[in-house]
Amino acid sequence: YSTAAAIEEPIKPAVNVEHTKLFINGQFVDAASGKTFPTLDPRTGEVIAHVAEGDAEDINRAVAAARKAFDDGPWPKMNAYERSKILLRLADLIEKHNDQIATLETWDTGKPYEQAAKIEVPMVVRLLRYYAGWADKIHGMTIPADGPYHVQTLHEPIGVAGQIIPWNFPLLMFSWKIGPALACGNTVVLKTAEQTPLSAFYVAHLLQEAGLPEGVLNIISGFGPTAGAPLCCHMDVDKLAFTGSTDTGKAILSLAAKSNLKPVTLELGGKSPFIVCEDADIDTAVEQAHFALFFNQGQCCCAGSRTYVHEKVYDEFLEKAKARALKRTVGDPFKSGTEQGPQIDSKQFHKIMNYIRSGIDSGATLETGGERLGERGYYIKPTVFSNVKDDMLIAQDEIFGPVQSILKFKDLDDVIRRANNSRYGLAAGVFTQNIDTANTLTRALRVGTVWVNCFDTFDATIPFGGYKMSGHGREKGEYSLKNYLQVKAVVTPLKNP
Ligand code: ADP
Residue 372 phi, psi dihedral angles, 5° rounding: -65, 150
- Strands 449-452 and 304-310 turn out to be unpaired
Which of 51, 59, 109, 164 to mutate to test ligand 1, by most ligand atoms within 8 A of the CB atom?
164
**Which residue has better confidence, 5 or 65?**
65
Ligand 1, atom 19: nearest CA belongs to which residue?
A: 224
Answer yes or no: are the C-beta atoms of 19 and 308 closer than 8 Å: no
Number of other residues whose CB lies within 10 A of the CB of residue 355: 22
Q: How far is the CA of 248 from the centre of ligand 1 (A)?
A: 6
Identity at 259, one-letter amino acid code: S
**Which of these, 297, 200, 300, lies nearest to 244 by C-alpha position?**
300
Ligand 1, atom 22: nearest CA belongs to which residue?
A: 224
Ligand 1, atom 23: nearest CA belongs to which residue?
A: 225
* Vertex 162 angle, CA 157 and 166, to 5°: 130
Ligand 1, atom 20: nearest CA belongs to which residue?
A: 224
Q: How far is the CA of 464 from the centre of ligand 1 (A)?
A: 20
Kindly provide the residue ranges of all beta strands, DSSP E only, lying in 291-434, ordered along the sequence. 304-310, 365-368, 383-386, 403-409, 424-425, 427-431
Asked if 194 is an active-site residue, the reply is no
- Strands 264-267 and 449-452 turn out to be unpaired
The CA distance from 455 to 419, in Å, is: 16
- Interhelix angle 412-420/435-444, nearest 10 degrees: 30
Residue 314: the pLDDT is 98
Q: Is the ipTM of this complex over 0.95?
A: yes
Number of the ligand 1 atom closest to the C-alpha atom of 255: 24
Ligand 1, atom 15: nearest CA belongs to which residue?
A: 224
Q: How far is the CA of 358 from the centre of ligand 1 (A)?
A: 25
Residue 3: the pLDDT is 55
Residue 1: the pLDDT is 53
The CA distance from 399 to 408, in Å, is: 20
B/e letters for 297-309, b = 16+ CB within 10 Å, e = fewer, are bbbbbbbbbbbbb
Average pLDDT over all residues of the chain: 97
- Ligand 1, CB within 6 Å, residue ranges: 164-166, 191, 193-194, 223-225, 228-229, 232, 244-245, 248, 251-252
**Which of these, 434, 420, 423, 414, lies nearest to 471 by C-alpha position?**
423
Ligand 1, atom 1: nearest CA belongs to which residue?
A: 245
* Confidence band of 497 (pLDDT split at 50, 70, 90): confident
Residue 8: the pLDDT is 75
Q: How far is the CA of 471 from the centre of ligand 1 (A)?
A: 15
Q: How far is CA 386 from CA 54, 381, 383, 403, 408, in A?
A: 45, 16, 10, 11, 9
Number of the ligand 1 atom closest to the C-alpha atom of 248: 6
Strand partners, 491: 151
Q: Is 125 exposed, middle or buried (0-12, 13-18, 19+ CB in 10 A)?
A: buried
Identity at 215, one-letter amino acid code: G
Ligand 1, atom 11: nearest CA belongs to which residue?
A: 166
* Confidence band of 70 (pLDDT split at 50, 70, 90): very high
The CA distance from 159 to 145, in Å, is: 29
Q: How far is the CA of 244 from the centre of ligand 1 (A)?
A: 6
Q: How far is the CA of 226 from the centre of ligand 1 (A)?
A: 10
Number of the ligand 1 atom closest to the C-alpha atom of 164: 14
Q: What is the pLDDT of residues 220-236, one digit of tens each?
A: 999 999 999 999 999 99
Ligand 1, atom 18: nearest CA belongs to which residue?
A: 224
Ligand 1, atom 4: nearest CA belongs to which residue?
A: 166
Strand partners, 186: none
Within the chain, what is the greatest distance between any pair of CA atoms?
83
Looking at residues 320-332, what average pLDDT do you find?
Answer: 98
Helix (H, G, I), strand (E, B), or coil: what is residue 248? helix
Looking at residues 132-136, what average pLDDT do you find?
Answer: 98
Q: What is the pLDDT of residues 248-277, one digit of tens each?
A: 999 999 999 999 999 999 999 999 999 999
Answer yes or no: are the C-beta atoms of 220 and 227 closer than 8 Å: yes
Q: How far is the CA of 192 from the centre of ligand 1 (A)?
A: 9
**Which of these, 399, 354, 351, 405, lies nearest to 383 by C-alpha position?**
405
**Which residue has better confidence, 3 or 407?**
407
Residue 304 phi, psi dihedral angles, 5° rounding: -75, 85
Return the sign of the alpha-carbon dihedral for residues 228, 233, 236, 239.
Answer: positive
Q: What is the pLDDT of residues 142-181, one digit of tens each?
A: 999 999 999 999 999 999 999 999 999 999 999 999 999 9
Which of 226, 233, 248 to mutate to test ligand 1, by most ligand atoms within 8 A of the CB atom?
248
Number of the ligand 1 atom closest to the C-alpha atom of 247: 6
Q: How far is CA 348 from CA 38, 231, 249, 356, 402, in A?
A: 17, 25, 18, 12, 11
Q: How far is the CA of 166 from the centre of ligand 1 (A)?
A: 7
The CA distance from 31 to 410, in Å, is: 58
DSSP state at residue 330: B
Identity at 170, one-letter amino acid code: P
Which residues, including other chains, have CB under 8 Å from residue 63's CB and lie 6 or more apart?
160, 162, 189, 231, 234, 236, 237
The CA distance from 190 to 228, in Å, is: 9
Q: How far is the CA of 165 from the centre of ligand 1 (A)?
A: 8
**Which of these, 131, 214, 133, lies nearest to 179 by C-alpha position?**
131
Enclosing H/E stretch for 210: helix 198-210
Instruction: Considering the candidates 120, 194, 267, 398, report the single residue annotated as catalytic.
Output: 267
Answer yes or no: are the C-beta atoms of 408 and 434 closer than 8 Å: no
Q: What is the pLDDT of residues 19-31, one digit of tens each?
A: 999 999 999 999 9
